[in-house]
């Protein structure tokens, strides 16, 4: 199904029958990715007096509780409320759900301290104009990203200068295939988060960061329409399902 979208004064055509899902599903097994020193998520049937909420165990319906952390267990979208004393909900950060996005592939650079970092110089020449969203795929892009245990591994991260550059050019939605845009252990500095949301200035309450995505190698770099929606949970972060659509024509 071809849909014609008029977006910010421009017209785009996308094929709604060809979604490119870049989310990682939450699963009740060791295959689930984990970060931030958490255990694996749990999806288990409710147990009450005389019943277990499972059709396989004789109940009329499957009736599960789910225990997970949105930041630690898979694809999630977060707002500035992640780092503020004041409460802000990611459920209020998105008022529309389609955004012009660019997918780029970057190999984080080894720094003198041993860290792997995505730098401003790496992304400066790659970006096109008038972007609302940027999707970053890092290399190597092993399928193991979908089940990796990141705690205490010092994963790659985004430099403060790169995050500031995205803010300067008007990017509202930053998506990355890592558990965080910031260094795992940075003593709470959160430099990339803070500069992207302009924490110390006019805070960007409508800007979001989506982490823990996975972009298959079959999806080529370039411009897309991004459909970004979150589960309607009043929290600083919520599970999300970002989906890309190839722009057929402009």
- The reported pLDDT for the residue numbered 250 is 52
More confident residue, 50 or 234: 234
Residue 101 β-bridge partners: 133, 224
**List of domains in the chain:** 2-28+70-249 (3.50.30.50)
Query: pLDDT tens across 83-98, in order?
Result: 999 999 999 999 999 9
- The reported pLDDT for the residue numbered 5 is 78
CB-based burial, 50-76: b 16+ in 10 Å, e otherwise? eeebbeeeeeeeeeeeeebebbbbbbb
Indicate if the pLDDT at residue 228 is higher than 90. yes
The pairing of strands 76-78 and 237-239 is antiparallel
- The reported pLDDT for the residue numbered 144 is 97
Question: Mean per-residue pLDDT for 159-171?
Answer: 97
């Amino acid at each position: 199904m071809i849909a014609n979208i008029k977006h910010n004064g421009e017209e785009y055509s996308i094929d709604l029958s060809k979604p490119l899902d870049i989310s990682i599903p939450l699963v009740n097994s060791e295959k689930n990715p984990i970060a931030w020193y958490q255990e694996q998520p749990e999806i288990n049937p409710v147990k009450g007096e005389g019943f277990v909420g499972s059709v396989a165990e004789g109940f009329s319906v499957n009736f599960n509780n789910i225990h997970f952390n949105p930041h630690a267990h898979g694809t999630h979208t977060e707002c500035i409320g992640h780092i503020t004393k004041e409460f802000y909900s990611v459920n209020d950060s998105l008022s529309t759900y389609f955004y012009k996005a660019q997918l780029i592939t970057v190999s984080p650079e080894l720094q003198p301290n041993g860290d792997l970092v995505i730098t401003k110089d790496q992304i400066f020449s790659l970006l096109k104009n008038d972007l609302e969203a940027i999707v970053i795929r890092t290399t190597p892009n092993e399928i193991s990203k979908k089940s990796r245990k990141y705690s205490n591994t010092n994963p790659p991260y985004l430099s403060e200068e790169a995050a500031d550059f995205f803010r300067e050019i008007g990017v509202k939605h930053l998506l990355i295939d890592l558990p965080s845009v910031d260094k795992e252990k940075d003593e709470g500095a959160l430099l990339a988060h803070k500069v992207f949301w302009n924490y110390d200035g006019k805070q960007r309450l409508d800007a979001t960061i989506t982490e823990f995505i996975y972009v298959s190698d079959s999806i080529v770099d370039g411009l897309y329409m991004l459909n970004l929606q979150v589960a309607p949970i009043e929290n600083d972060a919520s599970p999300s399902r970002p989906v890309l659509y190839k722009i057929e024509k402009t």
